[in-house]
Amino acid sequence: MVKLFACTHCRESKPADEFYKNGKYRSSWCKQCCINLTKVWYGNNTKIAAAYKIVSKDRLRDQTFKAYGGHCVCCGETNYAFLTIDHIKGGGRKQRNELKRSGVMFYAWLRRQGFPAGYQTLCFNCNSAKHRYGICPHQSTKKLEVVA
């Protein structure tokens, strides 16, 4: 026998899986009522919602770059506007296609995975050079300095 719960908004009795759960507590509104309320709120507050989305994305980018050192490991660039996440052993395009994630959605995936090893922060220039030439010019210069 399925246990039914009453939604305090629509007053319908529904099974437990029709209610969101937060820890050991269940929402008093059913999922559909919560979704409808959210749609109405976003419809009435589009500017606030858009601003919140920007802040949320920026916060996620900050968390991701801090988790991976906060600066380009090649040249030391610290301006977040120039930083990217690099797959240390390559295969970034393949992984993004498999996950169907890129940009901020990829950062969210990294956070859900606990910021796993195998990634590093590079600036866009160093990342592009690594992809195109296999090594960043900064690294080839460092190797020349060691030999000389």
> 114-131: per-residue pLDDT in tens?
999 999 999 999 999 988
Averaged pLDDT for residues 121-145: 81
Q: Are residues 72 and 142 in the same domain?
A: yes
* 141, pLDDT greater than 80: no
Residue 47 lies in a domain: no
d(CA 80, CA 65): 8
Of 51-65, 82-96, 115-129, minimum mean pLDDT range: 82-96
Element (H, E) at 85: strand 83-87
Residues 6+ apart with CB under 8 A from 18: 5, 30, 31, 32
Distance between CA atoms of residues 28 and 40, nearest Å: 19
What band does 83 get if pLDDT is binned at 50, 70 and 90? Answer: very high
Helix residue ranges per DSSP H, the chain = 31-44, 46-67, 92-99, 104-112, 124-133, 137-147
* Domain ranges, residue 12: 4-42
Q: Does the pLDDT value for residue 46 go beyond 90? A: yes
Pair (26, 78) in one structural domain: no
Whether residues 81 and 141 share a domain: the answer is: yes
